[in-house]
């Protein structure tokens, strides 16, 4: 595709990123960047839904900490109501899935959504896309332009809707075969036995939780932790029946792997240690390495096939590449990567 529909390179990149099979949250930054380019926006955001039908987390390219804090910790108080047109109202719509905010109702310009979130981040025009799967809304994409630029139009809406199949693939839950790699040092939080009182938090604890953009967990986006995140109480209750309960929270760039265990303190009531480790799926790094190569979209697909363990013949079939074309593509790939054979290429780009 070209011109108003975006370049073939951009659409291929979206397809490759969305097909990593690691879930939407770890690749949210990549998706925002690609979608922003496709509709010529200034910035983008992705919100993913919890089981309660409200956002459980988000990635926003350029909002500051104060804006993120309002959304994360005052969402239901400030951004749900008759005047509010945002993620909550968009997921409730059943008429169409894209473009409600191209021409919003007049009350939108007086709403908290516009004034405390959109305008506060330096934006004015918005276009939205709801991503459904299994009969319910799973994510909402918002893309923004400043007041100095023209509003989004129907051509932008039609182009953005073309991304829906890729975004639905990106929703797929990571398989058990996905390898998760620890990123950075673990963070530690100590709470009382009920999980309601904070006793200690390591220097990395606030940072790890703040970067996670968790909604309704009571984590301030700046400064130190002053109270435990909401999930602490859940884990403490589970300690009644489990030795070391854990949970995994999807966050931008990966997930937080959290576990709880009791600490017996001499002369004091028992406390609970929460260990928080940020993890990333190893395949993300592979895809980003491949996307950075100065080769064609077809050639990037071939490199990713090699990285996944496909044989040369299987890769050709997967990408509908003839034997003669395969030779030409591989000559370019080998020159760009320094690989000397298909086996060498597979090893060079294999995860891990």
pLDDT of amino acid 203: 86
pLDDT of amino acid 149: 97
In CATH terms, the fold of domain 180-281 is Beta-Lactamase (3.30.450)
**CATH top class, domain 3-170:** alpha beta
What sign does the dihedral 174-178-182-188 (CA atoms) show?
Answer: positive
What is the full per-residue pLDDT of the chain (352 aa) written as tens digits? 344 445 778 898 899 899 888 899 999 999 999 999 999 999 999 999 988 878 999 999 999 999 999 999 998 899 988 888 888 888 888 788 899 999 999 999 999 999 999 999 999 999 999 999 888 899 999 999 999 999 999 999 999 999 999 999 999 877 777 889 999 999 999 999 999 999 999 989 999 999 999 999 999 998 889 999 999 999 999 999 999 999 999 999 999 999 999 997 655 678 999 999 999 998 888 888 998 899 988 899 899 899 888 999 999 998 899 999 999 999 999 999 999 999 999 999 987 6
Q: Residue 279: which of 183, 177, 179 has the closest Cα?
A: 183
List where CATH 3.30.450.40 sits in the chain. Answer: 3-170
pLDDT of amino acid 5: 47
| Eight-class DSSP state of 103 | S
Q: Residue 127: which of 140, 109, 117 has the closest Cα?
A: 140
pLDDT of amino acid 160: 96
Helices (H), the chain: 8-18, 28-38, 65-73, 75-78, 87-92, 112, 154-161, 164-170, 203-211, 231-238, 282-291, 297-307, 312-318, 323-337, 342-349
Cα(232)–Cα(290) distance, integer angstroms: 39
* The two three-digit tokens of residue 189, written as one number: 């939080």
pLDDT of amino acid 268: 64
**Secondary structure (3-state) at 59:** strand
* 23: phi then psi, degrees, rounded to nearest 5: 95, 165
pLDDT of amino acid 4: 46
Q: How far is CA 287 from CA 46, 141, 263, 290, 330, in A?
A: 20, 22, 41, 5, 18
List where CATH 1.10.10.10 sits in the chain. Answer: 293-349
**293-349 under CATH 1.10.10.10, yes or no:** yes
List where CATH 3.30.450.20 sits in the chain. Answer: 180-281
pLDDT of amino acid 352: 67
| Eight-class DSSP state of 118 | I
């Amino acid at each position: 595709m070209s011109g108003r529909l975006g370049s073939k390179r951009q659409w291929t990149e979206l397809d490759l990123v969305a097909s990593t099979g690691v879930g939407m949250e770890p690749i949210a930054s990549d998706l925002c960047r690609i979608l922003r380019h496709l509709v010529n926006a200034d910035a983008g955001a992705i919100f993913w839904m919890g089981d309660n039908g409200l956002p459980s987390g988000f990635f926003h390219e350029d909002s500051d900490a104060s804006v993120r804090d309002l959304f994360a910790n005052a969402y239901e108080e400030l951004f749900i109501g008759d005047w509010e047109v945002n993620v909550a109202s968009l997921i409730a719509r059943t008429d169409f899935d894209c473009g409600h905010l191209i021409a919003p109702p007049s009350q939108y310009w007086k709403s908290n959504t516009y004034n405390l979130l959109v305008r506060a981040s330096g934006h004015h025009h918005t276009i939205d896309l709801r991503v459904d799967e299994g009969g319910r809304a799973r994510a909402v994409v918002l893309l923004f332009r400043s007041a100095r630029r023209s509003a989004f139009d129907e051509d932008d809406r039609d182009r953005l809707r073309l991304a829906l199949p890729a975004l639905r693939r990106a929703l797929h839950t990571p398989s058990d075969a996905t390898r998760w790699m620890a990123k950075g040092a673990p963070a530690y939080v100590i709470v009382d036995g009920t999980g309601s009182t904070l006793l200690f938090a390591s220097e990395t604890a606030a940072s790890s939780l703040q970067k996670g953009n968790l909604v309704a967990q009571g984590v301030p986006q700046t400064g130190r932790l002053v109270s435990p995140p909401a999930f602490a109480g859940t884990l403490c209750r589970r300690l009644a029946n489990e030795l070391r309960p854990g949970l995994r929270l999807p966050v931008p760039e990966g997930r937080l792997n959290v576990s709880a265990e009791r600490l017996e303190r001499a002369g004091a009531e028992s406390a609970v240690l929460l260990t928080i480790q940020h993890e990333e799926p190893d395949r993300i790094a592979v895809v980003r390495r491949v996307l950075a190569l100065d080769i064609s979209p077809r050639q990037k697909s071939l490199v990713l096939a090699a990285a996944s363990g496909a044989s040369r013949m299987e890769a050709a079939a997967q990408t509908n590449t003839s034997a003669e074309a395969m030779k030409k593509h591989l000559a370019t790939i080998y020159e760009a990567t320094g690989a000397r054979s298909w086996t060498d290429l597979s090893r060079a780009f294999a995860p891990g």
